[in-house]
Amino acid sequence: MWKSTDYGKTWRSIVGNIPSGSINVIREDPLVPNLLYAGNDFGVYVSTDGGQKWNVLGGNLPTAEVSDLQIQPRDSVIVISIYSRGMWVMDALKVREVK
């Protein structure tokens, strides 16, 4: 997982402390700059500092492959698609409060 802040001129890794494996989805919160969500084969991780440090996103999510993740700004929800476990919906306001 790489990040550029100069329109692609240079890149730096933001994988940090996420367990190794493929990153299936990464999204930036549409209302809070530097609040990132990443889904991989082990769950969802959240970074409040633009990808320097990552924490497991709580809410009793299963440890399973996350295939997609969307942030719906109007209703402030995070919709997470988990392989073989269906869809999960979380309150984005609670995640934003941690910031």
Q: For the chain, what are the domain ranges?
A: 2-98
* pLDDT for res 98: 64
- Both tokens of 47, joined, read 């970074």
Q: Which two tokens stand for residue 39?
A: 């889904």
**Per-residue confidence band for 94, with pLDDT thresholds at 50, 70 and 90:** confident
Q: Are 52 and 36 in contact (CB under 8 A)?
A: no
Return the HEC string of the chain. Answer: CEECCCCCCCCEECCCCCCCCCEEEEEECCCCCCCEEEEECCEEEEECCCCCCCEECCCCCCCCCEEEEEEECCCCEEEEEECCCEEEEEEHHHHHHHC
pTM recorded for the entire structure: 0.88
Q: Residue 8 pLDDT > 90, yes or no? A: yes
Question: Does the structure show a pLDDT above 90 at 35?
Answer: yes
Q: What is the pLDDT of residue 65?
A: 92
Q: Which residue has the higher pLDDT, 98 or 25?
A: 25
pLDDT for the residue numbered 62: 83
**Cβ(12)–Cβ(2) under 8 Å?**
yes
What is the maximum span of the chain, computed from C-alpha positions, in angstroms?
39
pLDDT tens-digit readout, 36-59:
999 999 999 999 999 999 999 977
